Amino acid sequence: MDIVKDLRAIVGAEHVLTSALEAYETDWRGVFRGRALAVVLPADTTQVAAVVAACAASRVPIVTQGGNTGLVGGAVPDQSGRQILLSLKRMHRVRELDVQNATVTVEAGCVLQTVQHQADAAGLLFPLRLAAEGSCTIGGNLASNAGGTQVLRYGNARELCLGLEVVLPDGRIWNGLSGLRKDNSGYDLRQLYIGSEGTLGVITAAVLRLFPRPASMMMAWLSVPSAAAAIALHEHAQRQLGATLTAFELMGQAAVSLADRHFPHLRAPAPDSSPWFVLLEQSSDLPETLARPRFEAMLQAALEQRYINDALVAASIDQAQRLWHLREAIPLAQAREGFNLKHDIAVPVSGIAGFLDAVETTLRERLPDIRLILLGHVGDGNLHYNVQAPAGDDGAAILAQHQAWITGRIYDAVQAHGGSISAEHGVGAFKVAELAARKDAVALDLMRSIKQALDPLQLMNPGRMLTAAR
C-alpha cells in the first residue's frame, strides 16, 4: 500500500515491519491476538508526528504500543489487518534530570525501571512500582494511569506526572513538558491524556515528579484472620504511622500458596497458616533507630487488638526484597497454573470485606471448586479478583464455560458496592461493552464528545475504551 511506502520514507525502511509481527500482535498473556498492516518504530517525536499525519491523510487507524505488558488488549491491533501499530520502543531517552526541581523528563518508550534507576543515582525516588517494571514503559503507564504498590503514599501515575508532550490525531505536537507544580492558566490538558489509553493522541514524553529517598524502610509480613480484620488493621496502621505508611498489600491464602508452589526459592512464610496475609511497608524520613520503635509499637497494638495473628518483620533488605518478589510473583504463578480470569476492580475501602464475602458466596453456589486468587492494594480499594480454573483436566473448560457469568456477577457486586470495573489496568478492548453498559450515561456522552472533538476521524486506537454513540 502507498501508506507503507510513505511510512518507510518517514522512519526508514528498516523501521517499518510487515512480516514476523507476532511479538507485536499478541499481548504477553497470549489472550489478545490481532493482525497489523505494519509495525512502525519512529525514533523521535517529529517522526511520530509525521507518521500520525500520514495515517490521518490516508484514513489509516493507529494503535500505540509501549512495552506490551497490558492486561486488557489495549495495545494490540484488531483482526482487520488495516491498523498501523506504532511502537515507541526506540524512543527511550532520558532527556533531562533536574535535581533541584525534583523532576525527570523522559520519552514514552523509556522503561519504568530505567526511570527508577536514574532517580536513585541522583539520590531521589521515583515511586511507581509494578510487577512489570522491568519491561513496561512510561507511555503505557501514563496511558493507563497505572497504580502499583505505593499508591497509598504517592498516588497513581496521574499524580506523578507534571507535564506531557503529545502528538495529536492530526499530527500536531502539543508541548506541555512543564515541571511546574502550580499552573492555573486554563484547562489541565495533561489530565485529559493520562488514562486515555491512546484514544486521544500519542504520549511521546513526560515530566515526572521525583521525591526524597526515605532514610529508612521497614516491612512486615502479617497473618490476618479475616478480610474485615485486614481493613481494621489498615485503619489502625494509618492512624499510627500516618503518611509513612507506604504500602498495604492484601493477599488471600490461595494466592500465596500458589506463588509458593511455583516459586519455592522465595520461601513464603507459612503459606497455609492463615486465610489472609498483608505485606505492610513503612518508609520514613527518620533513621531506622528512631522509626522502628513506632513501627513495632503499631504491630504490638495490632496483635493485642487481634487484627493480626502473627508478624514477621523483615530483618534485612534482602529479606524485604524477597517478600516483595513473592507478592509480585502471584500473577506469574497464575500464568504457570493455567487458565484464569482477571478482574481489576475498585470499591471503597470500607466496602472491601462485604464485597469479598458477597462475591465468594455467589460464585461458590454455582462453582464450588473454583479457586479464588485474591490480592489488592487495600489503601486505594483496588482489588485484583482473579478466578483460577478448578484443579483437574476439565478445569479450564469449566471456567471458560462460565466466564461471562462469573465476570457479570463480579461486576454486579462492584456496582452494588459503589465501585469501578477498572482500577489500574484500563478498559482496552476487554471491557468496552461492560463500560458502555455500566458507566453513567452522561459520563459516556461527555467522553464521546471529547473523543469526537479531538479525533473526529476515529483513527486513534479505535474500538478501545469507547463504543460508538447509541
CATH number at residue 149: 3.30.465.10
Phi-psi region of 458 (alpha: psi -120 to 50; beta: other; left: phi over 0): left
C-alpha cell at 437: 453498559
Q: What CATH number should be reported for the domain holding residue 55?
A: 3.30.43.10
Query: Which residue bears the cell 513526560?
Result: 206
205 with 100, same domain: the answer is yes
**Residue 317: its pLDDT value, please?**
87
Check whether residue 240 and residue 316 sit in a common domain. yes
| pLDDT tens digits, one per residue of 311-353 | 999 998 889 999 999 999 999 999 899 999 999 999 999 999 9
Residues 393 and 324 in one domain: no
Q: Which residues contact 309 (CB under 8 A, 6 or more apart)?
A: 223, 224, 225, 274
Asked if residue 191 and residue 147 are part of one domain, the reply reads: yes
Q: Is the pLDDT of residue 470 over 60?
A: no
Lowest-confidence range among 130-134, 216-220, 354-358, 438-442? 130-134
Q: Do 158 and 194 touch, CB atoms closer than 8 A?
A: yes
Kindly report the backbone phi and psi dihedral angles of residue 242, in degrees, each rounded to the nearest multiple of 5, phi listed first: 60, -135
Amino acid at site 436: A
Q: Both 53 and 141 in a single domain?
A: no
Q: What is the pLDDT of residues 27-67, one digit of tens each?
A: 988 888 999 999 999 999 999 999 999 999 999 999 999 99
Tell whether 455 is covered by a domain: no
Query: Does residue 406 form part of some domain?
Result: yes
**pLDDT of 452:** 96
What is the model's pLDDT at position 327? 93
Q: How many domains does the chain have?
A: 4
CATH number at residue 356: 3.30.70.2740
Same domain, 241 and 318: yes
Tell me what pLDDT residue 1 has.
60
| Shared-domain flag, residues 107 and 78 | no
Residues 83 and 111 in one domain: no
159 and 228 housed in the same domain: no
Mean pLDDT calculated for residue range 425-435: 91
In a domain, 79, yes or no: yes
Q: State pLDDT tens for residues 382-419.
A: 999 999 999 887 888 999 999 999 999 999 999 999 99
432 falls within a domain = no
**144 and 59 co-located in one domain:** no
Residue 469 has pLDDT above 60, yes or no: no
Type and span of the H or E element at 455:
none
In a domain, 368, yes or no: yes
pTM for this predicted structure? 0.93
33 falls within a domain:
yes
Cβ within 8 Å of residue 447, ≥6 positions away: 465, 466
In tens, the pLDDT along 142-184 reads 999 998 889 889 999 999 999 999 999 999 999 999 999 999 9
Considering the domain boundaries, does residue 436 fall inside one? no
Taking all residues of the chain, what is their mean pLDDT, rounded to a whole number? 94
Could you report the per-residue pLDDT of 201-243, keeping only the tens digit for each?
A: 999 999 999 999 999 999 999 999 999 999 999 999 999 999 9
Give the residue from 11, 37, 43, 10 showing the smallest Cα distance to 24: 37
Question: 204 and 229 share a domain?
Answer: no
For residue 231, the enclosing domain spans 216-331
Question: CA-CA distance, 143 to 126, in Å (whole number)?
Answer: 18
Please state the rounded mean pLDDT for residues 246-271.
Answer: 94
Which of 331, 365, 397 finishes a domain? 331
Q: Are residues 310 and 363 in the same domain?
A: no
pLDDT of residue 468: 64
**Do residues 40 and 11 lie in contact, with contact meaning Cβ atoms separated by under 8 Å?**
yes
Residues of the chain above pLDDT 70, percent? 99
Report yes or no on 422 lying in a domain.
no
Residues belonging to the chain: 470
CA atoms within 13 A on the CB side of 264: 1
Q: Give CA–CA dist 249/26, Å, rounded.
A: 30
Residue 336, H or E segment:
helix 330-337
35, 69, 87 — which closes off a domain? Answer: 87
Where among 307, 331, 355 does a domain terminate?
A: 331
